[in-house]
Amino acid sequence: MADAFSWALTFRLTPLVKPPGWPKNISIFLQSLADDRQKRAIAVILSGFDSDGSAALKSIKEAGGLVFAQEFQTAQQPDMPQSAVKTGCVDRLLSPTEIAVQLGRIGEERARFKERIEG
């Protein structure tokens, strides 16, 4: 196992730093994403156990980023999306398909914007 980080526009894995208790790999990654990408950060919380990821959502929002979470009824295990919603930081609650569509739209919009600036 490894911890995931976003740093200098790259996705990196490092040896797992495992504190006692349930691992918080998603929270560690999302915190680094907020630090690295700031207002460009987009967090996606999908089906999963416990509340992993929720601790870092405030950082994503404070940095100006977006947070999507999976609709409870589409999640095989809704703990993580439910915990994310309880933080008050979720911008949109969507099905996985709808999340993918939104991410595609955001990517296209950012590419068009970059083209206009650089073009």
Amino acid at 48: G
> What's the predicted TM-score (pTM) here?
0.82
Give the model's confidence band at 47: pLDDT under 50 very low, under 70 low, under 90 confident, else very high.
very high
More confident residue, 114 or 40: 40
b/e for 88-108, b at 16 or more Cβ within 10 A? Answer: ebbeebbeeeebeebeeeeee
Q: What percent of the chain has pLDDT over 70?
A: 82
Residue pair 76/105 in contact by the 8 Å Cβ criterion: no
DSSP 63-91: TT-EEEEE-GGG-SSTHHHHHHHHTT--S
Indicate the burial class of 117 (C-beta count within 10 angstroms; 0-12, 13-18, 19 or more): exposed
Q: What is the percentage of the chain residues whose pLDDT exceeds 90? A: 66
The correct answer on CATH 3.40.50.180 for the domain covering 2-118 is: yes
Q: Is residue 13 very low, low, confident or very high in pLDDT (cuts 50, 70, 90)?
A: low
Residue count (the chain): 119
Residue 35 predicted with pLDDT over 70: yes
Give the pLDDT confidence of 95-109 residue by residue, as tens digits.
999 999 999 999 999
8 or 36: which leads in pLDDT: 36
Specify burial of residue 109 (Cβ count, 10 A radius: 0-12, 13-18, 19+): exposed
pLDDT averaged over every residue in the chain = 88
